[in-house]
Amino acid sequence: MRLAFLLTQLEIGGAQTRVFATAAELRRRGHEVDVVFLYEKRSCFLAEPKVILHQGARPSPAKLPGLLMKLRRFLTKGRYDVLVTNTAPANVLGCSVGWLAGMKRRFAVQTQPPQRLSKPLRLVDTLAGRLGVYTVNIANSEWTRNCFSKYPAAYRKRMVVVKNGIAPPVSDASRAEARASFGLSEDEFVVVNVGRLSPQKDQTTLIAAMAGVSGRLLVAGEGELREDLEKQAEDAGIAKRVTLLGEMPRPRVADLFHAADVFAFSSRWETFGLALVEAASMGLPLVVTDLDVSREVLGTDEASALFIQPGDAAGFTEALQRVAADPALREEMKQRSLKTAGYFTIERHVDRLLEVLQAS
């Protein structure tokens, strides 16, 4: 089978990481896969095979029609059996172009709740789903599918759930080596977070929480709030204990997890939470915001994670202090994390995706 996975921009993000892992697993099973980006936002995933249709930053609106024509030619020439688009803009643009190119199977993967989309994008996504531009409409969790419960029946009838899966990041370093590479001592309590520096990921709450925690906070990610977060840490007098690492390649993220004592997940909203599962795959205890989708992914008992209300800095402080002070709790949470990660492997994700493909 020949498949094309389409995303709008190349950058380090959950959707991009998942797509590259999915493509690798499909190739391992004998399928031909191309991962296609409309443009390159940041240079990354250097070792991964990929196609970038527009070299350079995001194209201007005037150049978009030409870029979409280029995409149509690419899809027609590739003679793909299936087009799988990821994120709402790619869904609308890619599946529409795929339809014009005569592709029979066009899969849209919804990675955002509709209320987080702009009104124009939400409108065209609704039309595309109702009119069959998406032959299959994939939600990455039950929670995500439920977000569309009030959509027209013609839209919802094409929706299926294919839960995300991960290929765990791999570290060749020992714990001591990993810690040394980040300038950490052996006895420091280390909290890590991975995500864009953005209101959604809410590292503001984590930095506020760290004022009451003896330890270090390391954040892997880049975004528009960097200066604000640096100033917050400076004003709180903890700038030396908060490090914003920027975007990092997968092996370094694995080193970061290996160096950590706990993963803190402060997001205000998610449709799945890939970083949670990646951290769980490394056996890290999890302190997470109490989102419905977090409960869906991790389970509801307290051994799976310590659940904190979004924006509750004091709650994060108390939970992190509890994890730091209780080795038995850390070990119990580690075992539960490893068990949870076993439900969301890339192999299971691809099994389900192929099941949907064969049924379409």
| Predicted pLDDT at 55 | 84
Has residue 170 been placed in a domain?
no
Is 158 found in the same domain as 66? yes
The whole-number pLDDT of residue 301 equals: 58
Q: What is the pLDDT of residues 342-358, one digit of tens each?
A: 999 999 999 999 999 99
Whether 270 and 130 share a structural domain: no
Q: Give residue 360's pLDDT.
A: 87
- Residues 133 and 207 occupy one common structural domain: no
**Co-location of 187 and 132 in the same domain:** no
Q: Are 232 and 208 in contact (CB under 8 A)?
A: yes
Evaluate whether residue 212 is within a structural domain: yes
Whether 99 is covered by a domain: the verdict is yes
> What pLDDT, on the 0 to 100 scale, is given for residue 300?
62
More reliable by pLDDT, 44 or 209? 209
The pLDDT value given to residue 18: 95
> Do 332 and 184 share a structural domain?
yes
Band (169; pLDDT cuts 50, 70, 90):
confident
Mean pLDDT for the stretch of residues 157-177? 93
CATH number at residue 49: 3.40.50.2000
- What average pLDDT does this structure show over 121-132? 96
Q: Please check whether residue 78 lies inside any domain of the structure.
A: yes
In this structure, the answer to whether residues 94 and 234 fall within a common structural domain is no
- Mind listing the pLDDT tens digit for each residue in 193-246? 999 999 999 999 999 999 999 999 999 999 999 999 999 999 999 999 999 999
Q: What are phi and psi of 165, to 5 degrees?
A: -135, 160
Contacts of 248 (CB under 8 A, 6+ apart): 12, 220, 256
Q: Report yes or no on 238 lying in a domain.
A: yes
pLDDT grade, residue 266 (50/70/90)? very high
Residue 182 lies in a domain: yes
C-alpha closest to that of 89 among 58, 44, 131: 58
Domain co-membership, 337 together with 349 = no
**180 and 248 together in one domain:** yes
| Same-domain status, 73 and 203 | no
The mean predicted confidence, pLDDT, of the chain is 95
Segments forming the whole domain that contains residue 201: 175-341
pLDDT at residue number 302 = 61
What integer pLDDT is reported at residue 299 of this predicted model?
A: 81
Same domain, 318 and 351: no
Arithmetic mean of pLDDT, 161-181 = 93
272-325 tens-digit pLDDT = 999 999 999 999 999 999 999 999 999 865 667 999 999 999 999 999 999 999
Question: What total of structural domains would you count in the chain?
Answer: 2
- pLDDT for residue 94 is more than 70: yes
- Phi, psi (degrees; rounded to nearest 5) at 121: -70, -40
DSSP 8-state class, residue 60: P
The runs of H, that is alpha helices, within the chain are: 14-28, 64-78, 88-100, 119-131, 142-146, 153-156, 175-181, 203-210, 226-235, 250-259, 274-281, 292-298, 313-325, 327-341, 346-359
Asked if 209 and 317 touch (Cβ cutoff 8 Å), the reply is yes
Residues 226 and 331 occupy one common structural domain = yes
Q: What is the pTM of this model?
A: 0.92
* Residue 343, pLDDT score: 92
Query: What share of the chain in percent tops pLDDT 70?
Result: 99
Say if 237 falls within a structural domain.
Answer: yes
Same domain as 185, residue 323: yes
